[in-house]
Each structure stands twice: as C-alpha cells, then as structure tokens.
Structure 1
C-alpha cells in the first residue's frame, strides 16, 4: 500500500481454479508470500518470500514519492477484492485509498477508537470485513490479535482468547457470534463465566436475527459491551449503515434492523422507476457518497449496470446494492432480503449463476437449476 501499488488478497484455502482465475484476471506484477507456501503461483511471477528476504540493507525511513515510480494519490487503488459473479465469473472490486480513509473518518463519531483498543483479526484477509479489522488498529495505534484458524473454529477457545488478550473490539458475522454467545452461556452456567473487556461487538456480513441476542442481553446487559449492527458491501468499502442495539429493540424486533447511513453516505430505498418508496414499503437499496469503489476490474459493462447515475444529484453515482429493505416508523432501515438470486452464507456472497456455471461445466449435465 505504501509503495503505491494495490494489493490483491489471495487466501490459500480457496479452490485452486478460483485462485488461478483471480491471478490471471488481476495480472499482479509480484506476489508476497512465504517460503513454506503450498499455493502454486504462475510461472514467471516475481515472488518475495517475507521470511527469507534480507531487508537490513534498506533504509527504514518513511516511503516518499521520491522512492516510488509515480506519485501516490488518494485515488489510487488500495486493494482489489474478488466477489462471486452472477455470470459464473468472479469480479474484482477496485477500492481506492480515499474510501478506506473515509470509512474510518465517517465512523469515528460512533466508536471513538483509540490506542488502548485491542482488535481481533478473525476473518480471512480475502473477505472485506478484514479491511475494517486490519486497518482500524493500525490507524488508531491499537493492538491487533491475529486469530489462528483452529481457534476461529472453536467458540470455546475463541472466548478464552478474548478474555486472555483483553480484546475490546470484536467484529463478527452473526452466525459466528451465535456460536460464541452459546459458548458464553455454557461457561456462565458452569460457573466459569469469561471476564471480557469488550467495549464493542460489531456485526456485519449477513442478516442479523435480533431475537437470537435475547439470551446474551439477559446475561450481559445493555452496556458491557455495546452491540452494533452494521450493513455494508464490498463495493461501498465495508460499512454503509449502523444501528446501536439494546435489549428493548432485540425483544420487539421482527426484522434485521440495520439503522441509518453513517456520516458521508446516503441510502435510498427506491422502486423500479427509481422513485423513493413510502415508509413501510419494500424497495431496492441504493447508496451514494464518498465510500463507493471505482467499479469492477476490467469489467466496464458490469460496472455501468451497478454504478448508475444519481437521479437526485447530477454528476454523482449511486451503487445499486440488489438488497431489499424498507424504512420503519423510527427512521431505521430494515433489511428484507435480495432482489436477485444472490445468497449470503457466513458473510460470503454466493451468486447462484456461478454455482450453475460450475455444475454445467460437467459434460454429463445438460440443464441445471440451483
């Protein structure tokens, strides 16, 4: 990122053909890896093994434009993250430096993070929730606890880690937190309740079933920690809206309340004619503001169908999310589902068209419906 290049996160646990496609499509100029990798990289791609390279001969001062091949601008791409594609082909979302910086500037008034906070890196760095987890503590000078794979799959071990490391900021997909909350309940019933230092639990990545938090609030109360439901998409740089939760809201809610747009963004709920819908009426969500990505890498046609002209502000762009929502009487957004066939599983976006394409690739299959 400091060199002026964008990074492409590649999770070695991904299927080999998906990794191969991503590397061919993004055409990276180099790979940063380690000498023990099992991932097969393209022949001819320069590789830097970070555990083997000797950096002692290099200057440790801050990188400047004099060191770069071109000046670094805030509009330069910071990273490209691939998401599932409806045509059967994953698509790379280009996110510039400025939108990542704006993400934290726009949420600062909500959270007040500082150098005393301890964050967890729980999610794969190839999943955009990790952008929030990784750059947050680096920006504020906090501590980052990287959660190993085995611990991330064991709610009991993860609960112990949260207590031992005195974690204050926890970011979770709802499905992961339900398991953690159950581990917390069992520990409490056995007299081994974990002494947590959590200030914030931030939900994202998939719809939150509020009533499943009732037991947590019954044990932990409203203020230790504060739970926040956030909604967002890779194309809008992680987060779009937020809603601070409490026991009363959880007891009464019948839908996933995702709140109101964070500072610097606007959310519109529109009908098929791009007209705003009344309170209580379902429509598709569109997002405008300073956190929108630069579109899809090498896919101008797809970019133009998702990043559309803003009918309310000439010269601006709306991102068409494909998510259906409605405004409630309190002025909050309630997430209702998708306008298309996309589904979310543990935070991962899965396009049905991509699954169908994979099945149809088998010569013995003539037709398929997923």
Structure 2
C-alpha cells in the first residue's frame, strides 16, 4: 500500500489556509471568500457550536441553501469535532425529517430561518446568530483523530427506509492522495460545485477540493437546473475541472454545443456512461475525459480511467490503495472475464451504516481470500479484463441509478403504498432506447385507481423528484412466479399510445410540428396536444434537447420552457404569441 497521511480534514484544511490565505477559496454569485477568510468564518462557527455543547463524535445536521454559508457551516461542524449530516432543502421536508429522526442528530445548523421549516425536536443553530458572529476566529483545538466520523450521507434504502453511510476522516485523507495521484488536482485548478450536498459527489467538490487548495465555484439551486447559465458560470470563472453525471453532461452539451475552453478535465460518474456521449464530448471540448466509478460506501471514487477513442466503455482500474475483487456468491474470485459481483477494499471504505448493524454485517464482510480482508459488497455486476480493467454490466439487485442518484426501488414502492387507495405496488426501471434514458415505471393495484397526477403529488411529499416514476400502470393483481414471488419479468410495458378517447389531435401547423418533435424525443408514434410532457416520459434532460430543436427551427426558445408550458396546446399558444410580437 502506498502511504498517505493519517490525519484529519481539520488539519489538512488549516494547512492550506496557512499556506495560501489570500487564494480565493469560494466564489458564489458576487461573493468571494479567500482561504483565510473562510477559515476564520468556519472557526467562529466551530467555537459557537462547542459553546453550545457540541461534543466530539456527535452528529450535526446541515440544512442550508447553496452558498458560501453552506461550505463554511460544513467546515465549522468538522472543526467543532462533530460529523456533518447533509440535508438538501430541495428535497421533501418529510424525507429530511425522517433522516433527522433516524440519525438521532441533536443539533441542526441552518441559516436565514430555514431550519424552522422542519419538524425537529433538537436545537436549531443559525449561522447568523449574534453568538456565532461574535465567536473567536482562531483555529480551535483539534479534538478528532483520523478514525472519527466526518460525515454521514443517507442513500436510498431497499426496505423503504433511507440508510446513513458513515465515513471517517482517514477516508478523506486517502481520497486526497488517490485523486492527486490520478489527475491534476491542486491549487492551480478551479472546480465547479454543482452536486447536491446530499450526494457524495459533492464531497470532492467541497472538502476534497479545499484540502487540495483548489478554488470552488458554487452553482446555486437555479444555476444547477439551467445548463445555459451553468455554461456562462463556467466561462466567467474559468473553471478547469468539471465533475458531473452523464445525464447532466448531456444537458450541457445539447444546450450549448461546445464547452468553455478553460475546462481541462471532465470527470463523469454516478451512473453508466452512455456510448454516444463520448463522441459528443470530443466534439464539444478538448478536455481530458475520465470515466469514474465509486459507491458512497467507498468514499466518492474507487476506480477510474482516462477515456480513449475506440475502446469499449469501462470503469477503469482501482485507484491508489483500492483493491477490486470480482467474486461469486461464496466470495470466491471468479475466472478472469467471467461476470461476478464487484467487492472493494482499502482505506476508503466507510465504517458502515448508522444504527444498522445488521445491514453493515451484510454488506461489509471479511473475504475468504486475501487473509480475511474487509470488503464492501457493491451489488454491481462486472467482469475484469486481463489487464485489470473493469466493465460494468449492471446490478445484482433491485437498485438503479438515475441521473447519478442511487435508488432502491423498494423505497419508492413503500412510498406508493402510503397512498390511501393503493393496495399493492411494484416499481421497475426501464431504459427507453428511443430517448436513451432510464426512467421509473410504477405498477399499482387499487380498487379505485388514482390518476398519475395524484400519485405524483403524493410521492412529491415523500421522496425527491428523481425517485418519482414517469409512468404508471394499473393491474388487477401483480404477477407471481412459481415461488409465489413477484415476477418482474411478467410485468407489462406501459401502454405506448394514448387511447383514442383521450387523444386530441393537433389542429394547427405549429401544433403538428411540436407534436412531431415530441414524438421523436419520446419514441412515440403520436402525442395528444393536451398530454403533459413530464407525464408521458419526458424529463429535464429531454426538455433541454427540445429547446435546442426549437432553436434549429428558428422558433422562440427560452430556459425552462416546458416547465412553464407542459402541453403542446399551451406551448403552441405561447409560441404563437411570441411570434406575433417579433
């Protein structure tokens, strides 16, 4: 094993703040913070939290909008000696409250009164409280060791209950060494932070970047959603490193055609890399393109590769100090080239799952080879080439990834079953080959079937948007196999076409043109003018592609167009009005 420094994130960040106090650390809208100023702000928060009784090893929830406050708050929690529990205000309040209750966090750090919006029995600390603003600015005494927790990130759970992944300081110290040995990741670089704070890709864009001395450009909630605004943000701040999912990368390319020339490195991960994306990226940028892989339980990234034209899509080889084993059901190595479950080992592995000793014992195991090495069973099916490269083949369970987010289908099913009219529910994922994206389908047994809009409204109160099915199918009963288990292979595909009784044909030339574009995007032979784009398979990624199609036809286009006018009739009326003004 290559040596790495066994130290805490507090030590690593304070070293950077001392080394380059005037280096711009954070950029958000019109605000900039140097490393020195950020360190002082984080120190105030840390001293205030300690004065309020926050102890080493405790868990402090972090609930803030995307801003410099968010990063300062994160660092302040860590410097106080606690671990941070990130909660995204864009997620349903019910989900954040469930995580708070499950975690046992006694303190929630927020700002602008945001924390008062949650039903939380613990203490809410506000970043702008006078006690915080008046606190000391010197570095607090170190209270942690490398084996202490630094954060707990909750991911989707198969039983309908999200699970908290516990990561220690040493894993972040190791990530620093592994990433710096894999690509250019130093004070000369600037990275765009656009991942949700509840998504572990954010770790590299925040604390990972800060302990390596990078500058960070923070994209806020609105900028995250608009690829054209993101493009301007990247160019304005001369971002050199872009880390994102394939879905968001496609949005950027489709919306802008080319990427700013400042970008030198692009890290793609979080979901399978679609083959068609590489040539699109080559045409849009001269940057080096890396395909990355890693579960939350292994601290952001575990394998990676610099992508080369003409090669099959693969997830590369293990990063520094990471061991990858492809095993059978008995945890024995399979023959090279044979499919098996990917298991990971190394200093990046998490401690386990918070308050879930049973699940920890199930997923973190001792291998029957390599002297009982501690392994994490990823649930990913791969095969290993003779040179060690890994090819991702899919999942061995009912977990999927959509737009980079890990989804346990059982959690969506549990949420559906909470609807008063739903008696049974199954959720599957399907890749639409025409539209080249994965989406969820909900199968429901109900005496009185709620319509799709009602089911979506119900789910929106319980789970994030990315976990809401785009299509629903009513069944009289769920199909079962010989063992009495649900036969997912026997579930019917959603009805492809609109029923004649519900179909409203285009009446104008513009409506017919728009219907043709939707049909091409969604892989349908016809679309009614009163059908909702997002209820018949559309999503934010395809909405961006549609805006580009409008521009190609010299029709008016604007950001978030389909979010405001989601049927062909509404859209045609709006476009007619815009054309009459021009």
1:295 to 349, 352, 358: 352
> 1:33 aligns to what?
110
TM-score for both structures, normalised by structure 1: 0.90
- What is the CA–CA distance in structure 1 between the aligned matches of 2:337 and 2:282, rounded to whole Å? 28
Instruction: Give the corresponding residue for 1:212.
Output: 277
Structural mapping, 1:1-370, within 5 Å? 1-37=78-114, 40-55=117-132, 57-65=134-142, 71-185=143-257, 195-220=260-285, 224-249=286-311, 253=312, 256-370=313-427
Q: Contact 2:331 / 2:367 at 8 angstroms: preserved in 1?
A: no
After superposition, the Cα gap between the structure-2 partners of 1:35 and 1:213, relative to the gap in structure 1 and judged at 3 Å, is same
Closer, same or farther in 2 for the Cα pair 1:215/1:365, shift >3 Å?
Answer: closer
TM-score, normalising length from structure 2?
Answer: 0.58
Q: 2: distance between equivalents of 1:354 and 1:43? A: 23
TM-aligned CA deviation for residue 365 of structure 1: 2.6
Cα distance in structure 1, aligned partners of 2:256 and 2:212 = 29
Rounded to whole Å, the distance in 1 between the matches of 2:330 and 2:372 is 19
1:12–1:39 CA contact under 8 A, matched in 2: no
CA positional deviation for 1:312: 1.9
SS of aligned partner of 2:391 = strand
State how far apart, in whole Å, the 1-side matches of 2:209 and 2:179 are: 14
Task: Give secondary structure in 1 for the equivalent of 2:316.
Answer: strand
SS in 2 for 1:197: coil
More helix by percentage: 2
Instruction: Give the SS at the match of 1:180.
Output: helix
Find the aligned partners of 1:306 and 1:17 in 2 and give their Cα distance.
27
- The secondary structure found in structure 1 opposite 2:118 is coil
Deviations 1:259-283 (A, max 9, x none): 0000111011111222222232211
Cα offset for 1:228? 0.5
Q: Which moved more, 1:33-42 or 1:278-287?
A: 33-42
How far has the Cα of 1:12 moved from its partner?
Answer: 1.2
Deviations 1:159-189 (A, max 9, x none): 121111100111010110011122332xx5x
Compute the displacement of 1:313 (Å).
Answer: 2.9
Structure 2 residue runs without a partner (length 5+)? 1-77, 428-582
Conserved? CA contact 2:239–2:262, under 8 Å:
yes
d(CA) in 1 for partners of 2:166, 2:233? 34
Preserved contact between residue 360 and residue 367 of structure 1 (Cα < 8 Å): yes
SS in structure 1 opposite 2:228?
Answer: helix
Give the Cα separation in 1 of the matches to 2:272 and 2:160: 24
Identify if the C-alpha distance between structure 1 residues 183 and 309 changes in structure 2 by more than 3 Å, giving closer, same or farther.
Answer: same
Answer yes or no: is the 8 Å Cα contact 1:257–1:332 preserved in 2.
yes
* Superposed displacement of residue 26, structure 1: 0.8
Q: Distance in 1 between matches of 2:118 and 2:410?
A: 27
Offset at residue 345 of structure 1 (A): 0.9
Cα distance in 1, alignment partners of residues 134 and 242 from structure 2: 38
Which structure: larger Rg? 2
List gaps (5 residues or longer) in structure 1.
Answer: 66-70, 189-193
Q: Could you say which residue in structure 2 is the equivalent of 1:191?
A: none
SS of 2:426's equivalent? Answer: coil
Total equivalences in the alignment: 350
Secondary structure in 1 matching 2:135: coil
2 CA distance for matches of 1:158 and 1:214?
Answer: 21
**After superposition, what is the alpha-carbon deviation per residue over 1:110-139, rounded to whole angstroms, capped at 9, x for unaligned?**
113221211111111111100011013211
The 2-side partners of 1:28 and 1:35 are apart by 20
Flag the 1:219–1:78 CA change in 2: closer, same or farther, 3 A: closer
Q: After superposing the two structures, state which structure 1 stretch, 52-61 or 163-172, moved more.
A: 52-61
Higher RCO (Cα < 8 Å, 6 or more apart): 1
CA gap 1:43/1:270 in 2 versus in 1, 3 angstroms: closer
Distance in 2, matches of 1:56 and 1:181, equals 43
Quick one: structure 1 residues 336 and 39, their matched pair in 2 at CA, closer, same or farther if it must change by over 3 Å?
Answer: farther
Cα shift at 1:218: 3.5
